[in-house]
Structure 1
Amino acid sequence: MGFLDLIGYDRHGAVTEVATTLNKGRLNTYGVTLAALGFNAPAWVAASSMSVLYAMVGHAAPLAIVVAYFFPMLILAFCLVYLVREAPSAAGVFTYVERFLHPGMGTVLGWTYTVMAATVAPMTAVIGAEYIQALFPSLAGDIQARIIGTAMLLLFFLISLRGIVLTAKIAGLFLVFEITVVSGLGLCGIFDPQVHNLSFASLYSVKAAGGWGSLGAGLLFGLWMLANFDSAINYIEEAKVPVRTVQRSLLLVLSLAFLIYSLAAIGWQYAVPVGKLAQIVEDGNSGPIAAIANIYLPQSLSWIALFVVVTSACAGMQISLNSGARTMYRMSSEGHLPEMFGKTNKHKAPFVSVASIVAFGILMVWIKPLAKIIFYYDAVTITLVLSYASMLAAAIRLFWMKHSAGVATMLSILPVFSIFIILYVGYSAGISPGNLYEAWYIGAAVIVIGTILAFMKKRNLRYKNRVVMGAADD
């Protein structure tokens, strides 16, 4: 058995469609990749996270990213390639856990992923509003920021209602701009360095990172920066060659994000001393992106550093709306959520699900503004940890269902270790200074609500079965 067969890669495009009422056959690999990479949102993630990563591991920030890429994220990607072939569905973690672990757990984890996507929407709204205010100082003010965030959510709600093709095109437009700026500034640092006493070897040195303990803590941000590549799965029901398209996109999105962040992590510290970058506070001035742009761009183009974060936040917002909505759509179609969440409009967009996430996002913008940004980081991190660990567990279960004990054991070793690493990340998020245990509390609350939904679904199923049996007896 070859490697591609072992991981279930659909190289011949054998699966040509999946059951759906969404807009089938609309996206190719390029479209799905752009949509999913938009969820990764390189510019605002780099603006908000790179300084923290430099502060934690210094020059070795590129090492933290490369470790996170190969282990556990690439392992997760190959597990998802396998799962996608066996259970093609827009709901991702919900479908995998429901089919290969337990139906009730599927409800809980589907809800968990939906919460993650729904939380990213207001998170990007408050970040986007912050940078719009920086671009236009006359809009400054806390109430104005809430109004801007609300307007952004409503705008992308209308775009989402027009269908997946428009969403993918807009995401592509935003991404071309932000990738050019983030990667371009990294390349400027590499080819025109301003810091001349920096050893390239130190960028990949465990010692330079402060030892394995510091590097392990840095993985929290390495995983955060590479996360959400799995959102490609949410578009499988609208892809032209569903399984193969998504399998390719999963690996492309993860690898492109790795390349973009690596170029930035390397090149930026060749432009500005890493000690200075580590002290830059992201407060609406684009953080390290602005510091690098001020060196290589003329003053007349200084606005680009702010604008690229706005477009990045917008891309992340619209893809989070669509990813969460498609999970809700599939859960509704299979009876785990009320039927109304499965309704589509004339553009075959799940409009009730999108509207629900937008309504939640607007509420959060008003009760959790920028001053509460750590809440969003904690919520997204812990729900991603739960989702990723569960998908790895579903893959391990599937290995044992499909292969002999020897092959299943071999395939399970790396995913098992990946689960431990991902759980360690969740543990680290819970004990981070300034918000002790908040991530854990959020995770516990999400699980409790998901469990309630699972019991409600089970209760409704029993009621329907009694009604059907009573009708049969009559």
Structure 2
Amino acid sequence: MGASTSSFTRGLAKPRLGVAQIVFFVVAASGPLYAIAGGISTTYAVTGIVAVPLSFVLLAPVLALFAVGYGVMSRHITNAGAFYPYVANGIGKPAGIAVSFVAVLAYNCIQIGVYGLFGWSVADFLRQKAGIETPWWLWALVVLAVVGVLGVLRVDLNAKVLGVVLGLECLTIVVIDAVGLANPAPSGDALAPLDPSNLFVTGVGAVFALSVAVFTGFEGAATYGEECRDPARTVARATYVAIGLTAVLYTVSSLAMAVGVGPSEVVALSQQNGPGVFFGISGRHLGSTVTDIAYVLFLTSQFASLLSFHNAVARYFFALGREGVLPDGLGRTNRRNGAPVAGSLTQSVVALLVVAGFAITGREPIFELFTWLGATASTGVVLIMTMVSVSVIVFFRGRRGPETLWQRVIAPALAAVLLAVVLVLIIVNFHVVVGTSEDSPLRWVLPGLLLLAAVAGFVRSLVLRSGKPAVYANVGGIGTTGGNR
């Protein structure tokens, strides 16, 4: 079929997105309500540490430092591949391609992990409200199909869906937080969740791993750079807004959860009830009707996160296919609406295989599928952000421009050091996250997948450099003003 009649093209949709729409995507990816009710309760349950709110207080400035360099890079490089073009134009193409493989694995992990939480949440809701027993994987597969269909539609339509869902869930969070803080449980010290001595104990790295996991998504603004009306401004602004909004929500909500049920009880109750801890506060003070509505929004929050991460992963596949790093077919988009159809379908297939594998082997959806993949993803994201921070310094070395010394060197350097410290803490305490002994192979297998992905990407770069030099020369260069290495 000739190019004139083909339904596919090589470009994304025409610029349709502004700051607000990008914020919808990146904050929805974090899924505030699901991150709070599902992710934070899981953090309490898995780590046994009460000072989870303090972890968000400490992580937010680190992420803000990262955003400084990340934001100024977006003025020079506009590419749907986001992270890897930054690294390719900074440290070099081999490192950039290695990072791209890690990014694809990490974002697939966080997206697929949420299918486990969603399936469990729907099954549990039906069991409690209607007495109907259904398998978690049934609902995971249903929502997987819905996300797959929406993933091939216009990106701005997806943003409208996410905007509505995000507004409703933020309102729900504010109401339940207010109730929890205004009605503290009698047990325990209300300030214990903010006491450093309660955070820096054995397992602190696991807290950071899971806390980074619920933050994950804020850094995805650059993925939509080619579809922004003004990427030089939009990406940076959306990133700062996303960090600020989620930091406040997570800190206040995790504190409200501990205060509302009692700091001395929050760990045990999280282990027993999971997301029910947060909704239990609503049930006691707001009644069953409000709580049921909140739980439905909890489900839609997960759906919004699934859709947002699906869009991000699809664009990674698209960018890598377009540049020849992955098979060329992944670089196709729908000519009519600009959606990365091939990347979207690929992500859906990968998710289907993983969910089916966990279902067939009888694995647990929250403490295995959701937690294992979420921790793997957050480890990968911290590694990538560390590499990007270093790349900012290298990229601006000797380059003249309006960027200040703070933007070019100081903030990225501080971010790189602090993120490296967080990465080490996560790896050292990874066995706590996966709930195994220190000598369990699983504590090394999951982060080891990230290393394998990086090695595979590095090898791919060598193959391209020797076998397809023209393709190699263009890696990280589409839509950029940065130099090639």
CA distance in 2, matches of 1:283, 1:262: 22
Q: Which amino acid aligns with 1:385?
A: V
CA distance in 2, matches of 1:381, 1:331: 21
Q: Deviations over 1:409-439 (max 9, x none)?
A: 6455413322322322441353434142233
What are the within-5 Å matches in structure 2 for residues 358-373 of structure 1?
358-369=348-359, 371=364, 372-373=368-369
CA distance in 2, matches of 1:161, 1:284: 36
Q: Cα 1:378–1:459, aligned 2, differ >3 Å: closer, same or farther?
A: farther
Q: Cα 1:184–1:282, aligned 2, differ >3 Å: closer, same or farther?
A: farther
Which residue of the partner structure matches residue 476 of structure 2? none
Which residue of the partner structure matches residue 47 of structure 1? 37
Which residue of the partner structure matches residue 156 of structure 1? 147
Q: Does 1:447 align with 2:454?
A: yes
Q: Does 1:206 align with 2:199?
A: no
Q: Cα 1:284–1:447, aligned 2, differ >3 Å: closer, same or farther?
A: farther
- 1:234–1:326: 8 Å Cα contact kept in structure 2? yes
Q: Cα 1:402–1:184, aligned 2, differ >3 Å: closer, same or farther?
A: farther
- 1:63–1:204: 8 Å Cα contact kept in structure 2? yes
CA distance in 1, matches of 2:107, 2:222: 13
Q: Which amino acid aligns with 1:393?
A: V
- 2:210–2:378: 8 Å Cα contact kept in structure 1? no
SS of residue in 2 equivalent to 1:195: coil
Q: Quick one: which of 308, 311, 316 aligns to 1:322?
A: 311
- 1:41–1:312: 8 Å Cα contact kept in structure 2? yes
Which residue of the partner structure matches residue 8 of structure 1? none
CA distance in 1, matches of 2:462, 2:26: 32
CA distance in 1, matches of 2:272, 2:226: 39
CA distance in 2, matches of 1:117, 1:416: 21
Q: Which amino acid aligns with 1:418?
A: L
CA distance in 1, matches of 2:100, 2:388: 11
What are the within-5 Å matches in structure 2 for residues 373-412 of structure 1?
373=369, 374-402=371-399, 410-412=410-412
Offset of residue 352 of structure 1: 0.3
SS of residue in 2 equivalent to 1:436: helix
Which residue of the partner structure matches residue 158 of structure 2? 167
SS of residue in 1 equivalent to 2:51: helix
Offset of residue 203 of structure 1: 4.4
Q: Does 1:259 align with 2:248?
A: yes
Offset of residue 125 of structure 1: 1.6
SS of residue in 1 equivalent to 2:158: helix
CA distance in 2, matches of 1:430, 1:289: 26
Which residue of the partner structure matches residue 73 of structure 1? 63
Q: Which amino acid aligns with 1:332?
A: G
What are the within-5 Å matches in structure 2 for residues 123-272 of structure 1?
123-137=113-127, 140-142=133-135, 145-190=136-181, 192-195=182-185, 202-207=192-197, 209=198, 211=200, 218-272=207-261
Percentage of identical aligned residues: 16
Q: Cα 1:305–1:285, aligned 2, differ >3 Å: closer, same or farther?
A: farther
Which residue of the partner structure matches residue 308 of structure 1? 297
Offset of residue 220 of structure 1: 2.8
Which residue of the partner structure matches residue 273 of structure 1? 262
Q: Which amino acid aligns with 2:293?
A: I
CA distance in 2, matches of 1:324, 1:368: 21
Q: Deviations over 1:341-373 (max 9, x none)?
A: 111112100100100000000111100246132
Q: Which amino acid aligns with 1:116?
A: A
Q: Cα 1:282–1:325, aligned 2, differ >3 Å: closer, same or farther?
A: farther
SS of residue in 2 equivalent to 1:222: helix
Q: Cα 1:274–1:173, aligned 2, differ >3 Å: closer, same or farther?
A: same
CA distance in 1, matches of 2:291, 2:208: 32
Q: Deviations over 1:290-319 (max 9, x none)?
A: 221222221233323432331121111111
- 1:146–1:365: 8 Å Cα contact kept in structure 2? yes
CA distance in 2, matches of 1:291, 1:152: 26
Q: Deviations over 1:154-174 (max 9, x none)?
A: 111111211101111111122
- 2:52–2:199: 8 Å Cα contact kept in structure 1? no
Offset of residue 201 of structure 1: 5.0
**Which runs of 5 or more residues in structure 1 are unaligned?**
1-19, 466-474
Q: TM-score, normalised by structure 1?
A: 0.85
Q: Deviations over 1:198-242 (max 9, x none)?
A: 6665443323x2547665653333322322201111111111112
CA distance in 2, matches of 1:121, 1:285: 20
CA distance in 2, matches of 1:306, 1:118: 25
SS of residue in 2 equivalent to 1:186: helix
- 1:58–1:275: 8 Å Cα contact kept in structure 2? no
Which residue of the partner structure matches residue 423 of structure 2? 423
Which residue of the partner structure matches residue 10 of structure 1? none
More moved, 443-452 vs 116-125: 443-452
Q: Does 1:332 align with 2:325?
A: no
Q: Which amino acid aligns with 1:170?
A: V
Which residue of the partner structure matches residue 15 of structure 2? 25
CA distance in 1, matches of 2:452, 2:58: 31
More moved, 434-443 vs 80-89: 434-443
- 2:151–2:344: 8 Å Cα contact kept in structure 1? yes
- 1:163–1:348: 8 Å Cα contact kept in structure 2? yes
More moved, 328-337 vs 167-176: 328-337
- 1:84–1:243: 8 Å Cα contact kept in structure 2? yes
Q: Cα 1:135–1:239, aligned 2, differ >3 Å: closer, same or farther?
A: same
CA distance in 2, matches of 1:253, 1:402: 29
Q: Which amino acid aligns with 1:114?
A: V
**Which runs of 5 or more residues in structure 2 are unaligned?**
1-9, 437-441, 473-485
CA distance in 1, matches of 2:471, 2:84: 22
Q: TM-score, normalised by structure 2?
A: 0.83
- 1:75–1:418: 8 Å Cα contact kept in structure 2? no
Which residue of the partner structure matches residue 53 of structure 2? 62
CA distance in 1, matches of 2:313, 2:356: 20
Q: Quick one: which of 398, 421, 443 aligns to 1:436?
A: 443
Offset of residue 325 of structure 1: 1.1
Structure holding more helix per residue: 1
CA distance in 2, matches of 1:331, 1:210: 40
